[in-house]
Structure 1
Amino acid sequence: MSLQTKNTRTTVLILMVLAAIAMRLVNTQVPALSNFTPVGAVALFGGAYFTDKWKAYLVPLVALFASDVIINYIYAGKFTFYSSSLVMYVCFMLMVFVGTFIKKVNVLHVAAASLVSVLIHWLIMDLPFLYGQPNTWANYTTLLVKAIYPFETNMLLSDAIYGAILFGGFELAKSKYTVLQGKRQLAL
């Protein structure tokens, strides 16, 4: 793959990630859309398509961080880093890692990766110590049950919708513009 082709492909991938993350800013204004964000789909997309692994992790995380800064400024008037923020970033790094296992884009593979990503988020982000509660199975179970609706349900739906847009859109673009096709079709 020539340098110009690689740069064009990377630019398109980055623009798609930024466009999707911009939707996160819109969704924060509607309480019913809590956790209905493109972040999980973006993490999977980055893991699947960026051939340079450092870009696969860096681009989605920088986009997430930038949107966090904007969202915090809107709500708090300043950037606030919560005690659970670092854990959330680790969850999304794990989601990027899951995306690296998508070797062939089809509905089944993307849906399975989305489900695994939501499970990662659900099981990690509802650990009691993140909310100042004692680490007991009762507290953990209570938090897991409370998170099912609307938070994790919305995340699963948003991964499906944004995943279809990102993966489907890029696959369609690749079929029309050969410059977007990599030497390897997906990150291996």
Structure 2
Amino acid sequence: MNKSETGRVDTRNIILILIIVSVALLRVLNVGKFGDWANFTPVGAIALFAGTYFLNRWTAYFTPLLTLFVSDIIVNYGYYGKITLFYEGIVYVYIAFALMVLAGSLIKKVTILNVFIAAIVSVLIHWTITNFGVWISGQLYPMDAQGFIECYLMAIPFEKNLLLGNLAYGFILYGGFEWAKKYFPFLATPSEWQVSNQNYQ
């Protein structure tokens, strides 16, 4: 990669980070305002978006997980009035979101269908892993088959909201970025630049 391409990638990464931070602010600004819409947040869509568009894998995972961590601190402070860096089940939550980034990285061509499928897959990942963490802790549900089933059934409304959040914010993130790429060529990937240059020639 030459110096010009490196500069474009760096600029592209900065824009991606700014987009993610801007959307994450919506989660922070709406603390305590959703009620029945709890879990309708942009964090799932952010994880998918980062996995799809960041070329560097470390950046793809680090950016959304750091964003989640910082917003968690602010959200928890908004709810409980104290700063909480870690909470019960945090390991399961972050494993789930890391796998959601992985799901986003599997989107090789951004289409409505591919993003829709990734949104569903990411919710299934979150539902499976985070609720296993809730059940295995033994604090809310008995550690038997009935408790296991009840734990997962009770989580469905929250996962429904997460899916709706993934779709709504995913439309904004993916749709907005794909639209922007048409007017700002530096947002494209190096391979897309090459294809574009070949077509132009």
Is TM > 0.5 for Structure 1 vs Structure 2?
Answer: yes
Partners of 2:102 and 2:64 in 1: how far apart? 12
Partners of 2:144 and 2:64 in 1: how far apart? 33
Confirm whether residue 157 of structure 1 aligns to residue 164 of structure 2.
Answer: yes
From 97, 116, 120, the counterpart of 2:121: 116
Aligned residue runs from structure 1 range 33-182, under 5 A: 33-80=37-84, 81-127=86-132, 128-132=135-139, 133-149=141-157, 151-182=158-189
* Structure 1 partner of 2:190: 183
Distance 1:26 1:33, change over 3 A: farther
Q: TM-score, normalised by structure 2?
A: 0.87
| Residues 151-160 or 76-85, more deviating | 76-85
Q: What secondary structure sits across from 1:184 in the alignment?
A: helix
Is the Cα–Cα contact under 8 Å of residues 28 and 34 in structure 1 kept in the other structure? no
Q: TM-score, normalised by structure 1?
A: 0.92
Is the Cα–Cα contact under 8 Å of residues 142 and 148 in structure 2 kept in the other structure? no
Matching residue's letter, 2:115: V
Matching residue's letter, 2:37: L
Q: Gapped runs of 5+ residues in structure 1?
A: none
How many equivalent pairs are there? Answer: 184
Is the Cα–Cα contact under 8 Å of residues 91 and 121 in structure 1 kept in the other structure? yes
Partners of 2:137 and 2:162 in 1: how far apart? 19
Matching residue's letter, 2:145: W
Partners of 1:98 and 1:48 in 2: how far apart? 8
Q: What is the CA distance between 1:27 and its match in structure 2?
A: 3.1
Matching residue's letter, 1:163: G
Is the Cα–Cα contact under 8 Å of residues 47 and 98 in structure 1 kept in the other structure? yes
Is the Cα–Cα contact under 8 Å of residues 122 and 147 in structure 1 kept in the other structure? yes
Q: Which structure has the larger Rg?
A: 2
Aligned sequence identity (%): 43
Higher RCO, 1 or 2 (CA under 8 Å, sep at least 6)?
1
Q: What is the CA distance between 1:131 and its match in structure 2?
A: 5.0
